[in-house]
Each structure stands twice: as structure tokens, then as C-alpha cells.
Chain A
Amino acid sequence: MTRSEPAADPKGCCAAVYGSDLLALLLGEAYHPGGASLTRRLAARLALASGERVLDVASGRGTSALLLAAEYGCTVTGVDLAGPNVEAATRVTRSVGLADQVRFRRGDAERLAVDSHSVDVVVCECAFCTFPDKPTAAGELARVLVPGGQLGLADVVAVPDRLPPELTGLGAWIACVADARPLDEYVALLAGAGLTTTHTERHDSAVTTMIDQIEARLTVLRLTAADQAAELGLDFARAPAVLAAARAAVADGVLGYALLTARKPGSGPG
């Protein structure tokens, strides 16, 4: 969809892109596949309880963190690589009166400035796939959990060598997808960090919905601001083929979305 090639550093790229204009145009800034309902689904699988300490890694603009605080009574710390996201999330938190319960700060998943054994639950939505050093990131997620603590992961799953060329050759948004892994590889990565996967489930339709949303925004852009969007790097001529390839990849099981919960060994929290 975009003309630029994947950046050498996918994490930097994705963080930049998640704060970037083009992606905001195509996805909206608060976007993650499945939206609030999938976040609730994850929370339910984790059996989140009032008062639990939750760390939201790659918290974006804070939508999920606020949901977990308001609906489940958790105390949430959100960490995000992009400064503007942290600022925006902090603003919203104040405006909805949840500043006692939720805070945000800048941080890198591979070097979390969070004490070991200090959180009951780590949540990471649509971000792990973008971390370039996945074993290190998995180790960090495991480190901060208390013994018996849980990880809830929601992420893009993909079979990289079977992704259609239309997708792999594309720019920044796709750089995230391109480093997504099959579900069993995530399970193995977490196992390597000492986390035992307790549950997995597929939600591939969340990707189809995302493709529909991208298509809708592309159409609006084409109708109203085609020239400006082209200047930002949008290639309207290529878009239909890319979207069709993405849909086909979902239909073939090559591209999808999954929820996963894992537990750190040891006695339960609290």
C-alpha cells in the first residue's frame, strides 16, 4: 500500500509508524484488531480481578489500560515507545478521572524499567510481533511477573514464508506483519522465557475486519484527498491487489490473529 520499503529496524519503524500520519490515516490511532471486545475477551481468559497490578506493554493511546481499570478494577501501568502516545493516554486518563488507577510512561519492551516480580498480569496487544528481539522481550515480560503471574498476549499470527509477495514487499505497516510468527512459535518463545502457555484461541476475523476498515479509509481518501494521500506515499492503484492478497492470506490461514495466556511458575499472586 505504501511505496517505502520496510525499515531495517522493525521496532523503531513500527513505533514510529504507530505514531505516524499514514497509519493514523489508514487505521486510526487507537486501533488494535478486535477492539474493546477482544480486550474484554483476553481479560476474561485471564480472570482479571479487582486490585490486580497490570502492566500494559505497548499501551498505545491507553484505550485498553483504561478499559481494564474501569471495568475490572485493576491498577494499570502502560508502557509505550512513542512519547506522543504516552502524552495522549495520560491526558485521557485525567479527563476520565482514572489517574489514581492508571499511569503511562515511555519504555521499551526489551528493557522494561519495571521491578522484577512486581506485577500480577502483563498484557501485550498487537505488539509482540513487532519486537525485533523476541526472546529478550519474552524474558522481560517474564521477569516483571510475580511467581504465578499471568501474561495475556493478543497478536498477529502469520506463516512468514507463505505470506503473499504483495504483503511482504510492502512498507511500514506490513513490516509488523512480516515479523509475525505462527502461534506455536510464540508458545515456544514464551516457554524459552519460562512461561507456560495455558490457553490459545484464534480470532482471524479480527484481521478481516481490519482489512475492511483499511479499505473504507482508503476509499474515503481516494474520494476526498487523493492527491495529498499520494504525497504521503499511498499508492491507490496497488491497494486493491494488496487488500485482496491480505484477505486471501487470512482465508488460507497464513495470516490471522490469536489470543494466548501464559503463566509464570510458582505460587499464585496475592
Chain B
Amino acid sequence: MKRDRDEVFVEYTKSICPVCKVVVDGQVNLRDDKVYLRKRCPEHGQFEALVYGDARMYLDSARFNKPGTIPLTFQTEVRDGCPADCGLCPEHKQHACLGIIEVNTGCNLDCPICFADSGHQPDGYAISLEQCERMLDVFVASEGEAEVVMFSGGEPTIHRQILDFVDAAQARPIQAVNLNTNGIRLASDRAFVAALGERNRPGRAVNIYLQFDGFDERTHREIRGRDLRGIKQRALDNCAEVGLTVTLVAAVERGLNEHELGAIISHGLAHPAVRSVSFQPVTHSGRHTPFDPLTRLTNSDIIHLVARQRPDWFRAEDFFPVPCCFPTCRSITYLLTSGTPGTEEFAVVPIPRLLDVADHLDYVTNRVVPDPAVREALEKLWSASAFMGTDTTNVRLAQTAAALDCADACGVNLPEAVANLTDRAFMIVIQDFQDPYTLNVRQLMKCCVEEITPDGRLIPFCAYNSVGYREQVREQMSGVPVADVVPNALALRSMITDSPYGSKVAQHPDGVAAVRRVARDATNVGRRIR
């Protein structure tokens, strides 16, 4: 008796083997209303991972996909195909909305979870001012007018020249600088915070991208290895004092802090420095705690959790996929707020309830765009380059408010009224970065978040973390051999061993760690049938 399969096959793609990183064919299937990526390595067997927890939302997101923009220059050539040619190669489908410069590998923490595999390590690297300037120039050459550069690490605030780096970025046509930090220096060095505050000015915003994972002591100990609650609060207060805007960035892990999402939003709404919250399912690249790829958190899981934890403020339908990257990578909503959470007067209005975001950001089924100017404004808001406090975001929020569907004759000018609320607008971003398990070249090819490397490449963030580029760059920069990092997945336990940095690497039969090799291709490589 023939049986039906228990899944619907929806996509054929390419991925990598999470152990040896060779490129392999992949298939995406819908099963039990969830979306899974499955692939097989000739050497290491079959792998499967959850990529989206809600199949309906996954399929519906396809229409929120806009044509990419071609960057001014490409840094590499097409030779071996995606993801081995990063980048950006001429086959890449999108320009860089956001460029990331990792200024060092050193950190003043040794977090159990760190996609960059950073910490108190003797053999890392730190870039020079000259290198930073060259990286910024590569970004500007590619973008012309660049939108946002993010300084990251390691811990960028412990780099001695970090303020010089900010100055170098601000001296170039780059609209905003983001500083990705654990907040330790911001909590204790007020002169440093003041120096950042001075640099935050019209047309050249500086935003703080502050790791902020929750309020339980356990959350702090398991993600960061230390109870940083007091430090986070002091960092926030110091930022508020000098007028720096802050994004709270939470790494969210299944079974750890997924219950704290509503509380993080609430905390952000109540703090004068905070204008946005970013939720990121823990990226199982680099260093992390053991996990099961089949039950990992995805964007739709986070959306449903937020809606469940704050049903008074959110529904899942308030979040919309971001069309500039691949729409399954990132979802965003904006709120208008008034008052202080917990008080009687406090009010929250998700902007998508005031105008039809779906109609404007639907590039596939909708052929009558209600208003091109509104679409343009919403495009800039539903983008990886959107950060609260930048001029672009402020202007686009005001334009969106002005587009509110309402006659002037009301006697109440609702659009103007809403525009007056946009200075307390609040953004919530949900971003699932890919890891060696979930990597899908379909998404990678349209990625708009790029790592700028010291040798002058722009490498999609998830390729950088998953395919072997991070290890390649670290080896080049430090002169110390770096093996490919392998996810600390429960099912891989027998195949992996410790790296010197706390991450896992493949174990060879003779017990030594494997060597690195970026994306050798084991997929359709032009051979005839045998």
C-alpha cells in the first residue's frame, strides 16, 4: 500500500554541511504547519533544521519582496557560485543597507553565547585606524551615500581608537553610526558616553545597540556568564543623560528567556533613552550552548510570543516582513506611544492599524499601489537600515503619518496629530540570522546586512558567520590557524570537540581538529551522470 509523505515540498536550494561546510543541495518542506530545511552531506549525513515556525506566515511573506538595488561596485567575481564567492559578487541581489565593521576579537566578557567567538583571548586581532578607514571607503564606494555602519567586535568600546573610528565614519557620507556593545564601558565611563553623545548630531546620528537579554538572573548567567543587570541599567541611564538613543538587543534562546519578551518591550517603552527593541533568536554560529535545530526559535515564534505576552498591545498581524532583504529574515512593527507603561494614561498604537502596510509593501500580488510616496516611506521604515533617531527614519515616520487616510474636513487633523506623536515612535525588530544548519543561499543572495572585511570585501552577515569567512578573516588577521566552527547541536556531539575559543570544531578520526576550507562545492558542479 502506497503512503503519502508527511510533508509538502516547496523549495529546492543550496546550503552547506554544518560539519565540513561543503556546499550541498537543500530542500525546504512544510510539515505540521512548520517550515524545515533539510540537506545531506555525502560525508556527514543528513541534517534538518526548523527555519520558520508558522508555515502560513512563511508562504504569505513571499509577496513582501521588493526588487533589489544594484550596488555601485562589486568586490569579487562569480567563480564558484553562492556562497563561495563573497562578496559582494555580481550575482548578489541587493545592496548593503547596513555595513558591519568588527574592530576587534577581544572582549571584556566571555559569554557562553557569542556568534563572534570573542573574549579574553591572547591570539585575536584589532584593526588599525588606517584599516578602518579603508573598510569605510569600501562601503562608501559600494553605496555612494551609505545609510548605516555598525561598529561591532569583540567589544568595540574597549578598542582604544573607537572614537576615532566613529569620527572616520562621520567624516564620510554615512548617515548613521551604530555601536554594538555589552554596555560595560557605558555604565562606568561617563566621559566616554559624553564623547559619544557629542558625536550624535543631526544628519550624523549615533545609536547604541545594547545587548539586553532580559531580567532574570539566570538569563544573564546563561547568556553572558555574569549578572549584568545593574550595569545595563547604568548604561541606559548614562545614555539618556547625553541624549543617545538606544536599541535594546535581546538574544533569545528556547527554554531560557523567551518568556521575557513582553517585559523587555515594556522596559524599553518606559526608558527615555530606548527607541527600539530588537529580538534575535540565538544564532547558532560561533559559541553557544547545546541546542536542537528542530526546536530552535524562529521569527514567527518570536512574533507569536510577543503577541501572547502583551495581547493588550500586539497581535501577530501587527508585524510585517521587511522587503529589502529576503522577507523571511526580518519582521518589523512600529508603535506610537504616549505616557509611561504601568500608568493609566499609557497608550500604544501599532502603526499598521492606522494604514494598510500590506497593500503598500506587497510587490507581487498588488498591482495598484495606493500611493507611491507612501510606499517609499514605508520601504525606508521596513528596512534593515531603519534605526530610530536617524533623520531618514524621522522623516519617513512623519510622511507615513501624513498619509493617514482621513479627510481634512474632519475638524480634526488626524495625520498632523499622528505626526506629533512620531517623536515617541518605537520600533520592534525581529531578526533570525542564519547558522550553518539553517543557511539557505536563496536568502543569502539577497542579504542586505554585510560584514566589511579588512581585505575590502562585503560579506553577507550570515555567510560570514556560517560558511567559514569569519575563520578565514581571523586567521589572516591574527596569523593563527583557525578551524571551521561547527554548531553545538545535540545531534553532532559525537563529531565535535572544543575549539580554543569555547566554540566547537569538527573532530577528525585521529582526534585533531579539522582545517578550514570555505564552501567546497558538492552540489550540481557540472558533472554528467555516472
Contact = CB atoms under 8 A, between A and B. Distances in A.
A267 interface: no
Interface stretch (B103-111, B219-227, B345-353, B439-447): B345-353
Contacts of B355: 28
Nearest to A212: B353
A223 B368 contact: no
Main SS of the interface on chain A?
Answer: helix
A87 interface: no
Nearest to A68: B368
B421 A224 contact: yes
A40 B404 CA distance: 23
A226 B172 CA distance: 46
Given A67-B368, A223-B338, A224-B418, A216 B349 contact: yes
Given A25-B414, A223-B421, A228-B412, A216 B407 contact: no
Contacts of B359: 35-36
Nearest to B356: A35
Contact of B412 (A209, A213, A221): A221
Interface string A37-56: 10010000000000000000
Contact of B405 (A28, A40, A229): A28
A237 interface: no
Given A37-B358, A67-B368, A220-B417, A232 B411 contact: yes
B368 A209 contact: no
Nearest to A27: B405
Contacts of A24: 405-407, 410
B409 interface: yes
B407 A29 contact: yes
B353 A40 contact: no
Size band of the B side of the interface? 20 to 34
A71 B63 CA distance: 15
A92 B407 CA distance: 15
Contact of A228 (B336, B348, B411): B411
Interface residues of A, number: 35
Contacts of B317: 209
Contact of A220 (B356, B358, B405, B421): B421
A221 B414 contact: yes
Nearest to B406: A24
A36 B414 contact: no
Contacts of A31: 405
A198 interface: no
A71 B362 CA distance: 13
B363 to A, nearest CB: 14
B420 interface: yes
Nearest to B60: A37
Contacts of A70: 367-368
A221 B406 contact: no
B354 interface: yes
A217 B409 contact: no
A8 interface: no
B411 A231 contact: yes
B366 interface: yes
Nearest to A223: B338
10 contacts: A21-B407, A36-B356, A67-B367, A219-B348, A220-B418, A221-B412, A222-B347, A223-B421, A225-B417, A228-B412
Given A24-B410, A63-B370, A221-B412, 7 more contacts: A25-B412, A28-B406, A71-B366, A219-B347, A221-B414, A224-B417, A232-B411
Interface of A: 21-22, 24-25, 28-31, 35-37, 40, 63, 66-67, 70-71, 96, 209, 212-213, 215-217, 219-225, 228-229, 231-232
